[in-house]
Chains A and B, each alone.
Chain A
Amino acid sequence: MELLFNLFSDYTLRIVTLGSTLLGITSGAIGCYAVLRKQSLIGDAVSHAALPGIGLSFLLIGSKNTEWLLLGAFIAGWIATLVILNIDRLSRIKYDNALAMILSVFFGFGLVILTYIQKIPNSNQAGLEKFLFGQASTLLQRDVMLMGIVALITLVPMIFLWKEFKLLSFDTIFADTIGFSTKKLDLILTTLIVISIIVGLQTVGVILMSSMLIAPAVAARQWTNRLFIMVMLSSFFGAAAGICGTLISSSIDNMPTGPIIVVVITLIALLSLLFAPNRGLIWKRIRDNKTKKEINSTIILSILYTLSEKHTKTYHSYDLSALMLKKDNIKYSKKKLLKELNKLKMSGLVDKHEKNLWAISEKGMKKISVLDYTNGGQSYYD
């Protein structure tokens, strides 16, 4: 409660929260495309590659204004992305190898420039490295304004090119054949991704930016199969993590905002992986168990069926040991088998004649003939 009160009263906190929320929304939305196109790690590469851009822009323009630094970062990140994509396209070097190499080479070059700047007399380069590790607490109102504008720049084309981007992400070749210029679209989408990464640098820093792109999208993907809902959810998760992260870090002394946001958004993703309906791991486990049970009872039923087929009397009953003759069909013990048979009896598929004699019932006959497991049962038993 006090936290929320702080949010409305504390000016700095409000600015920082606004900034990280904006970041969560943009990177969440645009991250969906990066994840769907299997280019998740582009965030890592671009954010590292932005460093020489920041250094060069400071070197050339001599200003520490966020706009100029971000512009430099954007240009460097964009060049790096194009280089990576072209190495992948033109040579046998694979995408991930190109990523790792370009990110380290660009970052190394950035270090060279930063150390060079340090040596220049009278140049105050302090503050440049805040981009490296992100210092959300130093966000100013004008930074957040800039972030808002850039968020608009990324989100508006996304809305207008919705159909095209969707097509591009799911079936590039089809998009090509029906006449969309996939090269141009690819370039636009990549540019948007680069922009949204660059904007996040100030808040979460180079290393953690990739997570802001991936985690919300991964979380959202588990809840839905529709792109629109996925993008909305992803933005929502991103924003929620931004707000939560900022509030948590503001309530603990000496706590960096970026890492907290990343931990929150990753936890959201992990929880989604576990609990999301249909796709989630727990649901999958439940479903698997259900199927397993179904298969077990059908196997028992089919064994009873094949036995009855061989016998002159259709509903002749057998005792447990007869059922267990072919052990490898029934993987469980006598006790378990009895339990299964009782279950089958409850649903009326099996009749219990005497103490330990079991026979398939009329209802069971009907079920098995519909399922057409008969052949399977036959071959199992012989």
Chain B
Amino acid sequence: MGVRVIMINPQIEIQLIAIIVSVACVIPGVFLILRRMSMMSDAISHTILLGIVLAFFATHDLTSPLLIVGAALMGTLTVYLVEVMHNTKLISEDSSIGLIFPFLFSIGVILISIYAGNVHLDTDAVLLGEIAFAPFNRFVVRGKDIGPKALYVMGSILLLNIIYLFLFYKELKLTTFDEKLAAVLGFSPIFIHYSLMSMVSITAVGAFDSVGSILVIAFMAGPSASAYLITDDLKRMILLSIVIGILSAISGYWLSVLFDVSIAGSMAGMVGLIFFIVFIFVPDRGLLSIIKRRKKQKYKFANISFLMHIMNHENTDMEKSESSIDTIHNHLQWDRKFLNEILSLSIENKYIFVNENGIIKVTKEGKKFAGTNYCELVKRI
């Protein structure tokens, strides 16, 4: 293996930053999914560009912390504007998202090209970000280097997220799952909505600087989607999402080292890969079990209707043509292979037997099986 296995300091730092970013993004991400607002993270992570540009015009300093404040405010404003548009009842929520965020982003780009052509404020940098450069931006206190700046910024944002989660866990849970009940009980869904959205925008702003907004969206939407397929319990979902987020951050990092490619890109790729593994293999809700279940249901249903067909024509004049082993395929009009499968399945289960005249007869068990299942089916309908 030509990979450098020896960890050098920047590598540890990059992974540490990635882990912190992933956890910080995953926590609000869980609630975004449950509230069906994942695309809001996409919108916010783009419109913060305008916030940064405006704050830059106000301060003329690219390192000012006001830039982050401006960006976070713009994120919340985006949410508000989308809400206002949606509340006119003239356009759907997704249309209002799709109308507002490219608009604000465009204004940001236009402002940059008019006023800040010579300032290093790249649109690519906002969207792509480069975590590989994060360790170069050091946090220096009284002339002493105490680590990369991103580590401290994201660390405090993560802390903020955790505090928010612990303080408002009950309220978040209630407003997410039953907004009306929450309102009746006196919790303000609007307060929770906007505070959550502010958390999303603060997190997005802090993270875009170090990892780029694409990875922010991936961390907000991906790990919690995987966890949502695995569990029904909110606490477990949050924990699982955090684990998956960390897993994709670390594995993504090492893959990118292995192939010498974009770190953020390969982390986002790992988020997707883990989701697809979960999506296919998870028991009960996974693709494989869905296919299996549907197949089973198909066979069961076919078996029942097959037995019903024979029972309907039992001891009638038509029986010879309708239920004969040689002619039944004309009446059921099933695929020959499928019919044979059902036939052998029924014989195997002793639901039917073929008498000496070649006529299919239903046994007692078969009648019982068809009868009870038919009743169930009817009941369900």
Q: Which residues of A pack against B, CB within 8 Å?
A: 35, 38-41, 43-44, 48, 87, 90-94, 96-116, 119, 129, 132-133, 207-208, 210-211, 213-215, 217-218, 221-222, 252, 254-256, 258-260, 262-263, 266, 269, 273, 279, 281
- Complex CA gap A206/B229 in Å reads 30
- Complex CA gap A132/B212 in Å reads 15
One digit per residue, 1 when the CB lies within 8 angstroms of any chain A CB and 0 when it does not, for chain B 19-40 equals 0000000000000110011110
Does residue B287 face the partner (Cβ distance < 8 Å to A)? yes
- Complex CA gap A279/B272 in Å reads 42
Which chain A residues lie closer than 8 Å to B94 at the CB level?
38-41, 96
Q: Least Cβ distance of B197 to chain A in Å?
A: 15
Inter-chain contact A38/B39, CB cutoff 8 Å = no
Give the residue of A112, A208, A254 whose beta carbon is less than 8 angstroms from that of B265. A112
Q: Least Cβ distance of A282 to chain B in Å?
A: 11
Inter-chain contact B90/A273, CB cutoff 8 Å = yes
Does residue B48 face the partner (Cβ distance < 8 Å to A)? no
Inter-chain contact B102/A112, CB cutoff 8 Å = no
- Complex CA gap A6/B270 in Å reads 50
Inter-chain contact A103/B113, CB cutoff 8 Å = no
- Complex CA gap A213/B123 in Å reads 22
Given contacts A115-B262, A263-B107, contact A102 B272 (CB under 8 A): yes
- Contacts A104-B268, A107-B268, A119-B260 aside, 4 further interface pairs with beta carbons under 8 A come to A101-B225, A105-B222, A112-B262, A266-B103
Inter-chain contact A260/B275, CB cutoff 8 Å = no
Spot the interface stretch: B163-171, B213-221, B308-316, B343-351. B213-221
Q: Least Cβ distance of B200 to chain A in Å?
A: 12
Among B102, B105, B275, the most chain A Cβ lie within 10 Å of the Cβ of: B102
Inter-chain contact B222/A101, CB cutoff 8 Å = yes
Which chain A residues lie closer than 8 Å to B106 at the CB level?
208, 211, 258-260, 262-263, 266
Inter-chain contact B225/A41, CB cutoff 8 Å = no
- Complex CA gap A128/B31 in Å reads 36
Q: How large is the interface on B (under 10, 10 to 19, 20 to 34, 35 or more residues)?
A: 35 or more
List residues of B (199-214) whose CB comes within 8 Å of A's CBs: 214
Inter-chain contact A93/B228, CB cutoff 8 Å = yes
Which chain A residues lie closer than 8 Å to B117 at the CB level?
254
Between A and B, 16 residue pairs with Cβ closer than 8 Å are A40-B94, A41-B39, A92-B228, A97-B38, A97-B225, A101-B271, A104-B268, A105-B271, A106-B272, A108-B269, A116-B260, A129-B124, A208-B102, A215-B99, A222-B90, A281-B90
- Complex CA gap A221/B85 in Å reads 14
Give the residue of B102, B268, B285, B287 whose beta carbon is less than 8 angstroms from that of A211. B102
List residues of B (94-139) whose CB comes within 8 Å of A's CBs: 94-95, 97-99, 102-103, 105-107, 109-110, 113-114, 117, 123-124, 127-128
Task: Name A's interface SS.
Answer: helix
One digit per residue, 1 when the CB lies within 8 angstroms of any chain A CB and 0 when it does not, for chain B 258-287 equals 011110111111011001000100000101
Inter-chain contact A38/B92, CB cutoff 8 Å = yes
Which chain A residues lie closer than 8 Å to B41 at the CB level?
100
Which chain A residues lie closer than 8 Å to B99 at the CB level?
211, 214-215, 218, 266, 269
Q: Which residues of B pack against A, CB within 8 Å?
A: 32-33, 36-39, 41-42, 46, 85, 88, 90-92, 94-95, 97-99, 102-103, 105-107, 109-110, 113-114, 117, 123-124, 127-128, 214-215, 217-218, 220-222, 225, 228-229, 256, 259-262, 264-269, 271-272, 275, 279, 285, 287, 290
A114 nearest CB neighbor, chain B only: B262
Inter-chain contact A255/B110, CB cutoff 8 Å = yes
- Complex CA gap A222/B268 in Å reads 39
Inter-chain contact A105/B269, CB cutoff 8 Å = yes
Inter-chain contact A109/B268, CB cutoff 8 Å = yes
Q: Least Cβ distance of A94 to chain B in Å?
A: 5
Which chain B residues lie closer than 8 Å to A132 at the CB level?
124, 127
Which chain B residues lie closer than 8 Å to A115 at the CB level?
260-262, 265
- Complex CA gap A132/B265 in Å reads 15
Inter-chain contact B220/A100, CB cutoff 8 Å = yes
Given contacts A40-B98, A97-B225, A101-B221, contact A108 B267 (CB under 8 A): yes
- Complex CA gap A210/B256 in Å reads 30
Which chain B residues lie closer than 8 Å to A104 at the CB level?
42, 214-215, 217-218, 221-222, 268, 271
- Complex CA gap A288/B222 in Å reads 45
Inter-chain contact A103/B217, CB cutoff 8 Å = yes
Which chain A residues lie closer than 8 Å to B256 at the CB level?
112
- Complex CA gap A218/B105 in Å reads 19
Given contacts A96-B37, A108-B265, A211-B102, contact A279 B90 (CB under 8 A): yes
Which chain A residues lie closer than 8 Å to B229 at the CB level?
91-93
Given contacts A101-B38, A107-B214, contact A112 B110 (CB under 8 A): no
- Complex CA gap A94/B34 in Å reads 9
Nearest 9 pairs of A and B residues by beta carbon: A108-B268, A111-B265, A105-B272, A211-B102, A259-B106, A104-B218, A100-B221, A100-B38, A104-B217
Which chain A residues lie closer than 8 Å to B279 at the CB level?
87, 91
B232 nearest CB neighbor, chain A only: A92
A263 nearest CB neighbor, chain B only: B106
B282 nearest CB neighbor, chain A only: A91
Which chain B residues lie closer than 8 Å to A96 at the CB level?
36-39, 94
Inter-chain contact B110/A263, CB cutoff 8 Å = yes
Give the residue of A44, A255, A263, A269 whose beta carbon is less than 8 angstroms from that of B113. A255
Give the residue of A35, A98, A101, A211 whose beta carbon is less than 8 angstroms from that of B218. A101
Given contacts A91-B285, A133-B123, contact A266 B33 (CB under 8 A): no
Inter-chain contact B98/A255, CB cutoff 8 Å = no
Inter-chain contact A100/B265, CB cutoff 8 Å = no
Inter-chain contact B105/A207, CB cutoff 8 Å = yes
Which chain A residues lie closer than 8 Å to B38 at the CB level?
94, 96-97, 99-101
- Complex CA gap A119/B260 in Å reads 8
Which chain A residues lie closer than 8 Å to B259 at the CB level?
112, 116
Inter-chain contact A111/B103, CB cutoff 8 Å = no
